[in-house]
Structure 1
Amino acid sequence: MKRGGGWPIPQPGDVLSYAYLWAREADAGQEDGLKDRPSVVVLATQETGDRLRVLVAPVTHRPPERPEDAIELPPLVKRDLGLDRARSWIVTREVNSFRWPGPDVRVIDDGTPFYGAIPDWLFLRVRASVGTWAGRGIRVVGRSE
């Protein structure tokens, strides 16, 4: 089944171009993310009817303050996704939640928002880390209701 621009429904592990709104920005009253960035789909769940809720974790070049807050994105995975060569991390301590496709999803060069997907072994690490934070105060910023 396809939605939004004829795009496929995102699957956990997919990497999307997304205008991510950091929790600190939302706390300061911002409503829009300042930068389009790769974001990893952590969860995609069916809501009532045909609505789909997606949770994404952001990818950033900024090293985490604490190692347990993020997982480094390996250079070969970055290459396979078509991303730059600079070190990057998937932040697992906060996520954005939105209805698919939502106005904050951004189209990249190929006409879709999809860079590709991270390998299963890496997704399992991301999911486990997000799950750990879910029990200890993960920040979920709700978007585009």
Structure 2
Amino acid sequence: MKDRPCAVVLVTTTEDGEDVVTVLPITHSPPADSLFAVELPAATKKRLRLDAERSWVVLSEANRFVWPGPDLRPLPNAGAGSAVLGLLPYKFAEELRLRLLAHIKARRAHIVPCTE
């Protein structure tokens, strides 16, 4: 399986105090339908130290898991063995959340709960 960056679009806390994240994958593959992807701005990619190729956040399927999850990989350019590159701009993150929610309500997207 290929390691890929993702956008965290929601963080909640369980009654047991565990953080649960909902993430969307980021890919270099252009979307077949622009309804289900949002291009990651070049300035944001540069600030997060991602490559210069065009990338899209995929809205058709989200994953949800307890943070940190078993599939997270430390990133060499994140510092101190972290899997976090930084924050998305608020307006961009809000667009992702709202579009994902609209797709879920319309049954055009779903959230996959990941288990260990």
Give the TM-score normalised by the residue count of structure 2. 0.91
After TM superposition, the runs of 4+ consecutive aligned structure 1 residues lying more than 4 A away are none
Q: 1:133 aligns with which of 99, 103, 114?
A: 103
Give the strand-richer structure, 1 or 2.
Answer: 1
Q: What is the Cα deviation at residue 144 of structure 1?
A: 2.6
Partner letter of residue 90 of structure 1? V
In structure 2, the residue matched to 1:47 is 14
CA distances 1:50-96 after superposition (whole Å, capped 9, x unpaired): 12211000100011111110100011110000000111000112101
Cα pair 1:54 1:99 within 8 Å, conserved = yes
Give the RMSD, CA atoms, in angstroms: 1.1
Q: 1:62 aligns with which of 29, 36, 46?
A: 29
Give the TM-score normalised by the residue count of structure 1. 0.73
* Corresponding position: 1:144 with 2:96: no
Consecutive unaligned residues in structure 2, runs of 5 or more: none
Identical aligned pairs, as a percentage? 38
Partner letter of residue 112 of structure 2? V
* Corresponding position: 1:115 with 2:85: yes
Cα pair 1:104 1:144 within 8 Å, conserved = no
In structure 2, the residue matched to 1:99 is 66
Query: Structure 2 matches for 1:81-100, cutoff 5 A?
Result: 81-100=48-67
What is the aligned length? Answer: 112
Cα pair 1:52 1:99 within 8 Å, conserved = yes
Q: What is the Cα deviation at residue 124 of structure 1?
A: 1.3
In structure 1, the residue matched to 2:45 is 78
Consecutive unaligned residues in structure 1, runs of 5 or more: 1-33
